[in-house]
Amino acid sequence: MSDSARFPAWGTPGTPVLPAAVRERAADPGLHRPVLEALGIDPAAGPDAVFADPLDEPVDLALFGAALRSLLNRGLGAAPAMGSAGTLLRLVDPDDFEALVPQIGWRVRTSNAVRRASMSESIPVHELLMISTISELLELPGLGVLTLFDLLVGVENVLVQVVHAEAHPALGRSQKPGLERQEAAHRTPPRAWGEQGSPVLPAVLIDWSSAAPDETKALLAALGLPEGTPSCATFDHPAEEPFQAARLGAALWELVASGAGSQPAMGSAAPALQGLDPATFSRAIEPLLRTRTRNVIRREFGAHGLLEFLLTATVDDVTALRQFGVVSFLDLLVAAEAAAAATACTHEPPGSSTADAQPLQLPDCPPWAGAVTAEDPRFLPLLGGATSLGELFEDAGPRELIRLRRTVEDAEHILQGLDGLTLEQEAESVLQAALGTRADKWLGPIGSRYGLAGADLRTLDEVGQTLGVTRERVRQVQSKAQAHLPSAPVHAPAVDQALELLDWALPCSAEDLTAALAAAGLTSLPCWTAGAFRAAVGLTGRTVDIGERDGLLGRADQLRAAAMVAGAARAVSNAHGIASVASVTRRLARGTDEPVPHDTVEATLRADASVHWIDEHSFWTDHPAGRNRLVNTSLRILAVISPQTLDDLLEGIERDFAFRAADPQYADLAAPAPAQLAAFYASHPAFRPLPDGRIETTDPIDVDSLGEEKQALVAVLRGQPHQAMDRLSLLAACDEIGMKRATVTVWTTYAECLKRFGHNVWGLRGADVPAEVVAELQERARAARRAVDRTKIIGVTPSGRPWTARRITPSFLYSGVMAFDWGKDALAHRTLAAVVIDDGQPAGSLRFADNFNWGYNVFLNRHNAQVGDVLRVLADPDNDICYLEIGGDELLGEPFDA
């Protein structure tokens, strides 16, 4: 010990043999006896033994170390190093304590070890003692089992003289006979809000209760207190948490709105704050605050600015603090009142005696005891061989009293540390406890195997490469940790809330799930996959039904339903170009007695990233090239001329869809509305709307997509000056290149790339055909028709058979339809077989309606009929036959009546 030391060293007469942390763990004589014996102290002296004579050194370190290890194995190692004396050390200003350190009677080895630890960790000795456990101190280089006692008792001796706390219950040391104290504190220890005996409401709300009785009653009811509880009541048992924050907050805001918001925050308790030292008040209030409250106070006011704020703040000022909820509001004000009373409390005059010591009593089993089980690796070291804290209470006797009390304090400390964690932090705390001493190196890497990064789980090889070890080594460490992980649910409120959130969030995308978790304050990770969520939840002993398919997260039945909905949506979207929730619901209802509800279909589609909504009800889905009918039709139109107006595109789509709808399989096919089509083009990557409203393709399109027949039509029209022709000229031009006349007739009616610019005028869709050009083409067509020989003869043979002979005109040649102006009485509304008169071969059938007679295309095509040829038809109504022949002018007469 240094000569300059003014505080007694451990081992000098009158100093305690055991530090506070050890005394509190040594209520069982079977535990403290070996330690006392190893130090040469009579075991009968008990845990509160003091040195009557100087410590007899050297001490048998092997015997002493073995005795201490038995205490460490019973949970001492996890205990805070200062034990309950830490509450007194907190009252000493850290700067003041640092000034006292050189005067502590430590051995040189102890002093050196403490100094090295403080420098290497870059923290003051005060903080090192406050945050360290027994095991962590024993890991300091140069600090052994003997110097551990030297260190801790030396600090207690400082507290005895500086804080005047020798008889304080926190140290558990009885006052020595004849020792006169200058002062002795006689006051009830300050209590945090929610603890048994603490005020339910702060002074300001008690003061205001007479002005707002109904609002005050509502607030007390929201806290779970029975009707009739007075506003000045105290908690007769610890408050039950978690609180219903929404209900509690609503009740508080009603009370604040009634006028309490403008009142001074401390109310009638404000005078107790006057004249207090800010630093002393800050140290006194910090132990009484919840972690979340304490963090906000430190952020907003620093180390000592809280007192100044409370002296002038109103209730509205307190509620306006950022991230300050209703619980923090009550927590702060009640703690401020308790800390002010404790800090301002006067001491007894010199010479007054301390109160008689109260007999130790078994503490009440706390309401949260069910959360502390041996299944949870975070609490396992505290319970010894018990399965739960409740079992410890059931079996506790007088000899286990101190140990039980300490276990309750340690468990509560752990629970407080878990308060406000995110779900990944809760899962990580379980894994950290399961890894034990390996956590420093392995927590992050093994955590990535359990999804604690929210991303896909890493493989053994990936973890091994990161650490430079083999995959087998990673497997071994994970296997050992797995053996300590819980098989049943353990305390993890954030995980429980996350599981409840899944009930309404699923099915959804990973991004939406993460956003929902973040909005509820349950995660800080950028994204959660289904596998990571399952693995992280599994660390807390829970299982969750969640999977992933095509970017959608959901339960197994939801994913099966989602697959059905997605398949139906793709089918409808690809077939029609644009789908709706209603059309998908109808498709799913086909052939089943259990249709998928409309709401389920919509919710699933809303969560599907492959669905692109163009309005409130309509969408299109991702598709391979060439699989969406609306895209294909639009591209065929734009392959000829691009860009084109929305009206031209819509008209072309209507022509094509009308042709497709002739097939019963596509009977419900219909073109979209103009607004839908415009939104479709704006959202689809294959198209680009231009500022003038026209649409073009993002990539060039080859006309090969039109097919051979339409390409031929396009080629004919492109050869014209204005890319337009009258109908008969177009038919004639197509006839010259070998196109079938029926094909040309069909495509002039339905081809999406063609447009009717006027009566009998056709051209390429998107071409610029002026009105005067249309008129010129129409006049040219009329002149050509006037020049056509339209000779026709009608008659009846002597046997009563009707007949006709007539010149073949262009329109008849291409359509196969003539006016029904012969034999009406015998042939009206009949169908007769057509027979070639020369060879008797069938040539289709002829149909007769009110005004038209058609069906001649087969005969005309077979005989390569030309404009100007003569066609003669002889009908035999009795035998349902029409005889046909083609030739020259010789046929312009009555046929042979055979």
Residue 59 structure tokens = 């001490």
pLDDT at 706: 86
Residue among 639, 676, 657 at smallest CA distance from 575: 657
- Order of strands, edge to edge, in the sheet holding 761-764? 724-726, 761-764, 754-758
Residue 338 structure tokens = 């308790």
Q: pLDDT by residue (tens digit) across 453-502?
A: 887 888 889 888 888 889 899 899 889 999 999 999 999 999 999 999 98
Category of 626 on φ-ψ map: left (φ > 0), alpha (ψ -120 to 50) or beta: left
> Who's near 644: CB < 8 A, 6+ residues apart?
637, 638, 694, 695, 696, 765, 766
Q: pLDDT by residue (tens digit) across 535-584?
A: 999 999 999 999 988 788 888 888 888 888 989 999 999 999 999 999 99
Residue among 559, 556, 554, 548 at smallest CA distance from 456: 548
Q: pLDDT by residue (tens digit) across 87-107?
A: 778 777 777 788 788 888 888
Residue 22 structure tokens = 């050890």
CA distances in angstroms from 404 to 196, 334, 357, 365, listed in the order given: 19, 28, 20, 10
pLDDT at 363: 66
pLDDT at 815: 79
126 within 8 A of 155, measured Cβ to Cβ: no
Q: What are phi and psi of 475, to 5 degrees?
A: -60, -40
Strands 611-613 and 552-554: unpaired
Q: Which helix (H) or strand (E) holds 618?
A: strand 618-621
What's the rounded Cα separation, in Å, for the pair 141 and 117?
Answer: 8
pLDDT at 402: 58
Q: For residue 507, say if its preceding peptide bond is cis, omega within 30 degrees of 0.
A: yes
pLDDT at 171: 55
What's the rounded Cα separation, in Å, for the pair 191 and 182?
Answer: 26
Query: Could you say which DSSP state residue 684 is in?
Result: -
What's the rounded Cα separation, in Å, for the pair 123 and 120?
Answer: 8
What's the rounded Cα separation, in Å, for the pair 247 and 507?
Answer: 29
* Residue 174 predicted with pLDDT over 50: no
| Band (358; pLDDT cuts 50, 70, 90) | very low
Q: What is the mean pLDDT of the chain?
A: 84
How many other β-carbons are positioned within 10 Å of the β-carbon of residue 62? 9
Q: pLDDT by residue (tens digit) across 107-165?
A: 888 888 888 888 877 788 888 888 888 888 888 888 888 888 888 888 888 877 776 54
Greatest mean pLDDT range, 301-305, 389-393, 621-625? 621-625
Which string of DSSP letters, residue by residue, matches 539-590? TTT-----EEETTEEE-HHHHHHHHHHHHHHHHHHHHHSSEEHHHHHHHHHT
Region of poorest pLDDT, from 27-31, 536-540, 758-762: 27-31
Helix, strand, coil distribution of the chain in percent, nearest 5: 50, 10, 40
* Residue 26 predicted with pLDDT over 70: no
Region of poorest pLDDT, from 8-12, 75-79, 224-228, 613-617: 75-79
How many other β-carbons are positioned within 10 Å of the β-carbon of residue 482? 15
- Could you check whether 555-621 and 707-786 share the same CATH topology? yes
* Residue 192 predicted with pLDDT over 70: yes
Q: What's the pTM?
A: 0.47
**Bigger pLDDT: 807 or 15?**
807
765 within 8 A of 755, measured Cβ to Cβ: yes
Residue 285 structure tokens = 């209030």
Q: Where are the domains of the chain?
A: 20-162, 203-344, 369-418, 423-553, 555-621, 707-786, 792-891
Cβ density class 139-172: b for 16+ within 10 Å, e for less:
ebeebbbbbbbbbbbbbbbbbbebbebbbbebbb
pLDDT at 444: 87
pLDDT at 164: 52
121: Cα separation from own chain's centroid: 38
Residue among 695, 692, 650, 653 at smallest CA distance from 675: 650
Q: pLDDT by residue (tens digit) across 344-355?
A: 653 333 333 333
Residue among 266, 306, 264 at smallest CA distance from 285: 306
pLDDT at 641: 92
Range 707-786: architecture per CATH: Orthogonal Bundle (1.10)
Residue 715 structure tokens = 């080629």
Residue among 100, 94, 105 at smallest CA distance from 55: 105
> Who's near 17: CB < 8 A, 6+ residues apart?
36, 39, 41, 45, 49, 50, 51
455 within 8 A of 529, measured Cβ to Cβ: yes
User: How many CA atoms are closer than 13 Å to the CA of 733, on its beta-carbon side?
Assistant: 17
Mean pLDDT of 387-393: 86
How many other β-carbons are positioned within 10 Å of the β-carbon of residue 851? 9
State percent of the chain over pLDDT 90.
Answer: 28
The domain 792-891 having CATH identifier 2.40.160.10: the answer here is no
The length of the chain is 898
What's the rounded Cα separation, in Å, for the pair 844 and 691?
Answer: 55
| The CATH fold of domain 555-621 | Arc Repressor Mutant, subunit A (1.10.10)
What's the rounded Cα separation, in Å, for the pair 551 and 547?
Answer: 10
What's the rounded Cα separation, in Å, for the pair 1 and 109?
Answer: 10
What's the rounded Cα separation, in Å, for the pair 190 and 788?
Answer: 117
Q: Could you write out the three-class secondary structure of 704-764? A: HHHCHHHHHHHHHHHCCCCCEEEHHHHHHHHHHCCCCHHHHHHHHHHCCCEEEEECCEEEE
Region of poorest pLDDT, from 3-12, 160-169, 612-621: 160-169
How many other β-carbons are positioned within 10 Å of the β-carbon of residue 512? 17
| Band (11; pLDDT cuts 50, 70, 90) | confident
- Order of strands, edge to edge, in the sheet holding 618-621? 579-580, 618-621, 611-613
Residue 57 structure tokens = 């050194």
